Amino acid sequence: MSMTITIIISGMAGSGKTSLAKALANHYGLTYLCGGDALKEIAMRKGYHFSGDDWWETEDGMRFLSERKNNPDFDREVDSFLKKKAEEGNVSITSWAMPWLGAKGIKIWLNATQETRSKRIMNRDVSAFDTALAAVKKRDSENIELYKRMYGYVLDKDLDVFDLVLETDSKTIDELKKDVIEFIGK
């Protein structure tokens, strides 16, 4: 009998969600799914054009986030898709909603300061630190407001739904992966 596993990773932008989710997917032979990529698919259907991981910090990305604030159907569509995939198993998912919406799986929150996250985004997207910090602050406040309005929880504060909370400011992805593998092994 083969074991199915679902890993759901949450954390604010730049906390290491994508890197850790991909590393764990590779380690366990899971399919990697990203809530942000599913949102990008919706944006593309709405006529937005994008490339690269830095799209959310661009003017076009910010414009879509503003449109998204007024239409919760975008997020509900993504959340429904991801919840279905989580229930099927054998996935490593990044999501800002699945842990709170009762998706089954191992739920992990990644904590990092805004400064650390801004440096990561700056390095990833080749932007100035001040630009990255402003984008992180804007995305944080808008996403916190959006999920509180849609589902009633406070993103980055209501962490009691998580099985594991990890600080990522001073850890590498390999160290975080090791922590998660040890946790799952128990």
Is the pLDDT higher at 77 or at 179?
179
pLDDT at 52: 64
The mean pLDDT value for 167-173 works out to 96
Q: Which contiguous run of DSSP H or E holds residue 25? A: helix 17-28
Instruction: Give residue 35's pLDDT.
Output: 84
User: How far is Cα of residue 156 from the mean position of the Cα atoms in its chain?
Assistant: 12
* pLDDT 10s digits, 79-125: 988 999 999 999 999 999 999 998 899 999 999 999 999 999 888 77
Predicted local confidence at residue 46, as pLDDT: 83
Q: Are 7 and 180 in contact (CB under 8 A)?
A: yes
In the predicted structure, residue 2 carries a pLDDT above the cut 60: no
- Euclidean distance between CA atoms 172 and 68, whole angstroms: 32
Contacts of 33 by beta carbon, 8 Å cutoff, 6+ apart: 82, 85, 91, 92, 93, 94
Q: What is the predicted pLDDT for the residue at 18?
A: 93
What's the CA gap between 162 and 28, in Å, rounded? 20
Q: How confident is the model at residue 161 (pLDDT cuts 50, 70, 90)?
A: very high
- Domains along the chain? 6-185 (3.40.50.300)
Whether 8 has a pLDDT exceeding 90, the answer reads yes
Per-residue model confidence as pLDDT tens digits over 26-81:
999 999 998 888 888 888 888 887 766 667 767 787 788 778 778 888 888 889 88
